[in-house]
Chains A and B, each alone.
Chain A
Amino acid sequence: MNKWTKLTLPLLQPIAAIMVGLLAGAIAIMIAGGDILETYAEMWKGAFGGMYFFTNTLSRATPIILIGLGAAFAFRAGFFNLGAEGQMVFGALSAALVGLYMPGPGWLVCIVAIIAGIVAGGLWSVMAGYFDARFRVNLLISTLLLNYVAVLFAGYLVAYPLKDRSGSAAMAQSEMLDNSVWLPKLISGMPLHVGFVLAVLAALIIFVLLKRSVIGYEVRMLGGNPLFALFGGVKRGPMMLGAMFFSGGLAGLGGAVEILGSQYRYIDGALSTADYAWTGIMAALLAGSHPIGTLIASIFLAALQTGGMGVERNTEVPLEVGAIIQAVLILFISARFTYSFLKRRKGNKSDGTAV
């Protein structure tokens, strides 16, 4: 295998998957009775056409990047943490509570709110990790089910004790945060806020952590081959709790910056309908849990969503076309097309096991 194929081969798979995804999108557009090229042009305009739309896409990507990084870290360690939604919701809720009720100067409240978000998301996630490490309660299922509990609990809080009764609106939401606690915008008049910088920093930190540190090595070892890690003396229990806290903390941070940077209050269902959590998990899967790759994939998936909104504004095609492209993408990125193709061409069918 020469150098050129070595460099391009890892890219071949994502590009093939993106093509299949766009093809599925084209079929969906055709069924909905839209013009394919025109719809994709609108999608591009909605995501990247002009400064406002571009920063809007990056702002939407911010929580997705953080959640995706959290999921990627857990996946790297071999833990299927699918509880990002609940962890994000608790992060957002605690950030909103601190922002509303803590006295003191605005910048301090904002920082404490962010930390509260991280801790809340992390603890909710550690709970599932502890259940698995101590009682062998399947992590995948427990994190999934805890999502529903978290969303319903937060919904109860903003529907009854913490409900905003100042306005006439019947919506279940908390009161509005004070101006002074808001995260500053990066460019005035544009939706992009400081949270995006935090997200990029987090991606770089995790990249270095996984590549260059002992803990990063242990995490990758545990995810790559749990038995090898066991014989190598990696303690699975503490690692699991640590990885889950880190992963949930990032999801909590994602929720917190979304509240402090763009929504300014906790609105029941606003985070769930935007589908940040699952998009983040998808981004991690798309990038094969690589931190920098997750960053790029998150922006790409956010662009699909904001582009979908542009499509809905200007054509007859519903915005869910973005969701379809996204799901097909993940479906086909998980399959080892190129891998099996290469194997067949080389003619060495078996790798020691009987297939």
Chain B
Amino acid sequence: MEQLFDLALINSALRVLTPILLAALGGALCSRVGLFNVGLEGFMLLGAFSAVVGNYFFGNVFYAILFAIAIVSIFSFIFAYLSINLQANVIVVGIAMNALAAGLTTFSLRAIFDVKGAFYDNTMVGLPKWNIPIIEDIPVLGPILAGLTPLVYLSFLIAGLMWYYFYRTKSGFRFLAAGENPLAAKSVGIRVRRYQYGAVLASGVLCALAGAQLSLGQVTMFTEGMTAGRGFIALVATMLGQSGPLGVTAASLLFGFMDALSIRFQGLALPTHFTQMLPYVVTILAMFFFKNKSFQQDALKQGSSSR
């Protein structure tokens, strides 16, 4: 047991939870305005790929992330236009987005780099890994926070900012109202569509960051389908956290810890199949403790939706 649980485990949990947390916050934004964003997985994959592409061509991490944000924003805009303006079924659009992301990244991997499966180049620079001078020497905190990328800190900062936005600002209050009852919100002059667009675009940006952490954080490479269901786990974290920033953070912590634990188990003699199953099984189990809204309420809400 001692080799299983130590401070390094918390450290690696923080690393792996970051993509999940970022995507889950994006999902929370979307679900708060009544759009159930199944496309998180695809957005994240696109983000991971375009971050590597940007990194390869610009040779600069900052530009790489900006490039990733730009690319994913285009796709999230398409998502928003189809589901808000053209009234397409959000779930269908999300599924199609995931398929498009999978096809497009594999295709581009061949077309741009002429490789199949994975791309790695040693001229690429990964995200910087920070060792903060004073904290580094503090006994417990030091090893926990050792060598984390700036995106890890940023994800928690965004969660905090989102909490402040939702519950302490006028605009955030309108945002929540637009999702809670679009018809009523519209009747008092809130521009519902504007908030919906904002939510989808913001979730795109967050997923781009999540993807960048995946492909430039721990390792500096891209492999086909490297998100491996993290977008869906993020979706569960969104639901589990009741789409509130703090709840989502707590749920992501749980999944990040499970992910880290499953990596740790691989060091033992267990078959890797079962250790890889762990995050998914725990996610399903976690859903038992969160009661989803009844389908009747969903149906009623759909009837009153003004989208």
Complex interface bits, A326-338 against B, C-beta within 8 A gives 1, otherwise 0: 1110111011110
Known: A137-B292, A324-B103, A354-B186. A156 touches B274 (CB 8 A): yes
Closest A residue to B104 by CB, please name it: A324
Interface stretch (choices B82-90, B127-135, B200-208): B82-90
Q: Is the CB of A230 within 8 A of B296?
A: yes
Known: A136-B294, A320-B103, A324-B100. A337 touches B86 (CB 8 A): yes
A207 is an interface residue with CB less than 8 A from chain B:
no
The answer, among B104, B291, B303, for a CB contact under 8 Å with A136, is B291
A140 is an interface residue with CB less than 8 A from chain B:
yes
Complex alpha-carbon distance, A103 and B236, angstroms: 45
Known: A159-B273, A281-B95, A331-B78. A354 touches B183 (CB 8 A): yes
Closest B residue to A141 by CB, please name it: B236
Complex alpha-carbon distance, A281 and B38, angstroms: 15
Closest A residue to B106 by CB, please name it: A320
Complex interface bits, B285-307 against A, C-beta within 8 A gives 1, otherwise 0: 00110011011100110011010
A-B contact number at CB 8 A: 148
Number of A residues, CB within 8 Å of B = 54
Q: Is the CB of B88 within 8 A of A141?
A: no
Q: Is the CB of A145 within 8 A of B100?
A: no
The answer, among B78, B99, B304, for a CB contact under 8 Å with A278, is B99
Complex interface bits, A37-74 against B, C-beta within 8 A gives 1, otherwise 0: 00000000000000000000000000000000000000
B108 to chain A, nearest CB (A): 8
Q: Is the CB of B273 within 8 A of A155?
A: yes
Please report which residues of chain B, range 68-123, place their CB below 8 angstroms from some CB of chain A when the two chains form the complex.
78, 82, 86-89, 91-93, 95-97, 99-100, 102-104, 106-107, 110-111
Q: Is the CB of B306 within 8 A of A354?
A: yes
Complex alpha-carbon distance, A31 and B287, angstroms: 43
Q: Is the CB of B277 within 8 A of A153?
A: yes
Please report which residues of chain B, range 36-71, place their CB below 8 angstroms from some CB of chain A when the two chains form the complex.
38
* Chain A residues in 8 Å Cβ range of B106: 318, 320, 323
* Chain A residues in 8 Å Cβ range of B304: 353
B30 is an interface residue with CB less than 8 A from chain A:
no
Complex interface bits, A304-347 against B, C-beta within 8 A gives 1, otherwise 0: 00000000000000101101101110111011110110000000
Q: Is the CB of B103 within 8 A of A144?
A: no
Complex alpha-carbon distance, A149 and B280, angstroms: 7
Q: Is the CB of A137 within 8 A of B296?
A: no
A300 is an interface residue with CB less than 8 A from chain B:
no
A43 to chain B, nearest CB (A): 14
Q: Is the CB of B99 within 8 A of A336?
A: no
A180 is an interface residue with CB less than 8 A from chain B:
no
B218 is an interface residue with CB less than 8 A from chain A:
no
Please report which residues of chain B, range 250-307, place their CB below 8 angstroms from some CB of chain A when the two chains form the complex.
271, 273-274, 276-277, 280-281, 283-284, 287-288, 291-292, 294-296, 299-300, 303-304, 306
B235 is an interface residue with CB less than 8 A from chain A:
yes
Main secondary structure, interface of B, reads helix
Please report which residues of chain A, range 220-247, place their CB below 8 angstroms from some CB of chain B when the two chains form the complex.
225-227, 230, 236
Q: Which bracket fits the contact residues of B? A: 35 or more
Complex interface bits, A282-311 against B, C-beta within 8 A gives 1, otherwise 0: 100100000000000000000000000000
* Chain B residues in 8 Å Cβ range of A285: 92, 95-96
Known: A140-B38, A145-B280, A148-B229. A227 touches B296 (CB 8 A): yes
The answer, among A155, A282, A328, A335, for a CB contact under 8 Å with B86, is A335
B222 is an interface residue with CB less than 8 A from chain A:
no
A11 is an interface residue with CB less than 8 A from chain B:
no
Q: Is the CB of A324 within 8 A of B107?
A: yes
A82 is an interface residue with CB less than 8 A from chain B:
yes
Q: Is the CB of B88 within 8 A of A334?
A: yes
Complex alpha-carbon distance, A266 and B99, angstroms: 25
Closest B residue to A355 by CB, please name it: B306
Q: Is the CB of B273 within 8 A of A321?
A: no
The answer, among B82, B103, B183, B277, for a CB contact under 8 Å with A323, is B103
Closest B residue to A32 by CB, please name it: B111
Q: Is the CB of B88 within 8 A of A336?
A: yes
B107 to chain A, nearest CB (A): 4
B239 is an interface residue with CB less than 8 A from chain A:
yes
A205 is an interface residue with CB less than 8 A from chain B:
no
Residues of chain B whose beta carbon lies under 8 Å from any beta carbon of chain A = 38, 78, 82, 86-89, 91-93, 95-97, 99-100, 102-104, 106-107, 110-111, 183, 186-187, 229, 232-233, 235-236, 239, 271, 273-274, 276-277, 280-281, 283-284, 287-288, 291-292, 294-296, 299-300, 303-304, 306
- 9 pairs, CB–CB < 8 Å, chain A vs chain B: A31-B111, A33-B111, A135-B291, A145-B233, A152-B273, A156-B271, A318-B107, A354-B183, A355-B306
